[in-house]
Structures are given as structure tokens and as C-alpha cells.
Amino acid sequence: MKKTRNRKLPGNSQWQWKNLIGLLPFFLFIAFFLVMPSLTLFSGAFQDVDGHFTLANFSFLQNTFALKSYLTSVWVSLITSVIGGVFGFFVAYAITAERAPRWMRNVLTTFSGLAANFGGVPLAFAFIATLGRTGFITALLKGICFNGAGGTTICPFNPYEHGFNLYSVTGLILAYTYFQFPLMVLTITPALEGLKREWSEASANLGSSSSQYWRYVALPVLWPSLLGATILLFGNAFGAYATAQALTGGSIYLVTIMIGQQIRGDVLGNPNEGYALAFGMVVIMSITIFLYVMLQRKTTRWIKS
């Protein structure tokens, strides 16, 4: 201990590589429990059953089942990220609007924090209890009845008679939006707060309307953060598993559900194709996160100071 105490904090570059030794536990942990498992899957994705290199596993994209799971996942993620993104943006706007009451800001921010962290199985339960076949709102709407002609009663508001079904892609989108738009609120609020008041005043002085201000000043400044946040939402939905599993019992084939079934019992009939399926997910997530980080960097230039 004495030695370390007397050692000076390093300045020259010779010391710098030796100093990395303190990060060894961290890197070992990452290597063991994140990199190694990932590499196991990746190497499996490029091998056939005998361990020879092959690209044949990616022919799962010709397997309509697997391809469809990718399309469903991308579709659900895309829709919920756009809906959540737009809705979340307006809510964040409401939070940062000049004359918004303070309590409203507090309530919205608090609930966004809560809802963005509220996912998985309980979220599915909440939606089943509310909008499921016997759910609270469903029962409420079902109960609105009128006396029709000839003594019959008509109950025109039962959502399940109008093609609504919670245990479907629609239901999934509704449930995902519950955690998507609050995440948008949390990520985009700092950017909106970064819009300087002088900008709107200056544009007003130059005679522009509110919509012109948004079109020519605010949105051009905001678009990298808007796009970045929406991309983050996409990734957030793309990796989700528990809500879909609990809501639909695995009857909607998202990629995550497919992988889950592949882990349980090799539904694809070829373990290496399962690895390829997982590899594809990581590729998509990497692109997503990379774009998000790049756009985020672009944003900080404006938000700082």
C-alpha cells in the first residue's frame, strides 16, 4: 500500500498502458458474460452442424416463418416508435411550453419516469384487465345499451364486435405505446429545453408566425434529437419480449418470441439457424444504437450552454 501512496499521478504516456490494469476486473467481466456468449452465438451462425464455415444458416430468410417474424418485429417497432415519438414529442412540448402550470410538468415528468420503466409482464396484465375480453373498459363500453326496434337491445360500443382484439398486433402496439411515449418524453425534453427563448423572440421580431418559427428554426435544430430519440424507441421495442409473451401467449411471432422458442426446443429444426436469427437481431440493434449515438453527439452541440 505504501508504494501506491507515494506514486505520483501519471502524466507521461508510458504509464498509461500499464494503468489499464485497474480496469482488468471490469473487462474480464464483460469478456466473460457479454462478449463470450455473443461470440458463441455469432460463430455458431457461420458454422454448419459439423463446424465448417458456411453462410447457409442465413437462408432462414427464405424460411417464410422466420422472415415473417422479422417483418412483424420491425413493423411493430416502427409503428410504436413513430406513434410514441410523435405523441411523446407533443407531451414534451406541453411540459416545456412557456405557460405550462408547474404541477402539470411535475406530474408528467414523474409519470413518464414511471411508465418508461414499467414494462414486461405487469404491463400486459394491466392491459388485459383494462381492455381484455372481460376488462374494465370493455365491460364499461359493452354496458352502454339502447332499446332498439321491436324490444331488442342494441349495445353498439362493444369493441370486440368492431374487430378490436387486444391479443393481436393492435393490442401489442397499444401496450408498447404505454412505455414508448414516456421514453420519448424523457429523451426529448432536454432538447426542447435547449431551445433558446431568444430564437423564438428573434423570429417573432422578424415577423414570423409560430408555425414559421417551428418550421424554419425549431425543427431544423431539433431534428437530430428527434430522429435519434425515435431510433432509440425503435430499439426499445425491437428487443422487447416479456410483454408480447404475456399478452398473446407467444402467438404473435416476433423475432424475440421465435428466439425464445428456439432456446426451448429448436423450432427451426437447426440450432445454427437459431444463432443466425439472434445474430441478425444484434446487427439491427447495433445499427440502431450506432445511429442513436451519432445523432446524440450532433445534438449536444446545440443543447450545451
Partner 1 sequence: MKTQKKNTWAIFWAVLAMLYFFVPMLGTFIFSLRMKRGVLSFQAYQSVLADSRFLESFRYSATMGIITVLVSVLLLLPTVYWIYVKVPWMRPAMDIITILPFVVPVIVLVFGLIRTFGRPPFQLTLTTFGTDILMTAGYVIITMPYMYRAIDVGMRSMDVRTLTEAAQSLGSNWFQVLTQVILPNLRIAVLSGALICFATVMGELILADFLVRPALGSYMAGIGRSKAYEPAALAIISYGLTWVCLGLIQYFSRGSQEQQLTGR
Question: What is the C-alpha to C-alpha distance for residues 93 and 129, in angstroms, rounded to an integer?
Answer: 31
Q: Is 118 in the site for partner 1 (CB under 8 A)?
A: yes
Query: How many other C-beta atoms lie within 10 A of the C-beta of residue 288?
Result: 20
Q: Is 303 in the site for partner 1 (CB under 8 A)?
A: no
Q: Are 53 and 47 in contact (CB under 8 A)?
A: yes
Residue from 55, 61, 97, 154 touching partner 1 (CB under 8 A): that is 97
Nearest to 303 by CA among 206, 201, 202, 229: 229
Closest approach, Cβ 104 to partner 1, in A, equals 5
Query: How many other C-beta atoms lie within 10 A of the C-beta of residue 277?
Result: 25
Closest approach, Cβ 141 to partner 1, in A, equals 12
Question: What is the C-alpha to C-alpha distance for residues 158 and 153, in angstroms, rounded to an integer?
Answer: 13
Closest approach, Cβ 59 to partner 1, in A, equals 20
Question: What is the C-alpha to C-alpha distance for residues 76 and 88, in angstroms, rounded to an integer?
Answer: 17
- Considering only 30-38, 61-69, 164-172, 187-195, which stretch makes contact with partner 1 by CB under 8 A? 30-38
Question: What is the C-alpha to C-alpha distance for residues 211 and 224, in angstroms, rounded to an integer?
Answer: 19
Query: How many other C-beta atoms lie within 10 A of the C-beta of residue 268?
Result: 19
Q: Is 170 in the site for partner 1 (CB under 8 A)?
A: no
Closest approach, Cβ 152 to partner 1, in A, equals 27
Q: Render 239-294 in DSSP notation, one character per residue.
A: T--HHHHHHHTT-S--HHHHHHHHHHH-TTS-HHHHHHHHHHHHHHHHHHHHHHHH
User: Of 29 and 223, which has the nearer Cβ to partner 1?
Assistant: 29
Task: Identify the bridge partners of residue 147 per DSSP, sorted by sequence position.
Answer: 153
Q: Is 114 in the site for partner 1 (CB under 8 A)?
A: yes
Print the binding letters for residues 174-203 with partner 1: x by CB under 8 A, - otherwise: ---xx--xx--x------------------
User: Of 34 and 144, which has the nearer Cβ to partner 1?
Assistant: 34
Residue from 11, 25, 151, 265 touching partner 1 (CB under 8 A): that is 25
Task: Look at the block and give the residue holding cell 446545440.
Answer: 302
User: What are the grid coordinates assigned to 159, written together?
Assistant: 369493441
158 three-class SS: coil
Q: Is 144 in the site for partner 1 (CB under 8 A)?
A: no
Q: Are 169 and 72 in contact (CB under 8 A)?
A: yes
User: Of 221 and 259, which has the nearer Cβ to partner 1?
Assistant: 259
Residue from 51, 122, 143, 148 touching partner 1 (CB under 8 A): that is 122
Residue from 14, 64, 134, 205 touching partner 1 (CB under 8 A): that is 134
Site for partner 1 in 220-279 (CB under 8 A): 235, 238-239, 241-242, 245-246, 249, 256, 259-260, 262-264, 274, 278
Closest approach, Cβ 148 to partner 1, in A, equals 28
User: Of 26 and 53, which has the nearer Cβ to partner 1?
Assistant: 26
- Considering only 36-44, 149-157, 162-170, 215-223, which stretch makes contact with partner 1 by CB under 8 A? 36-44
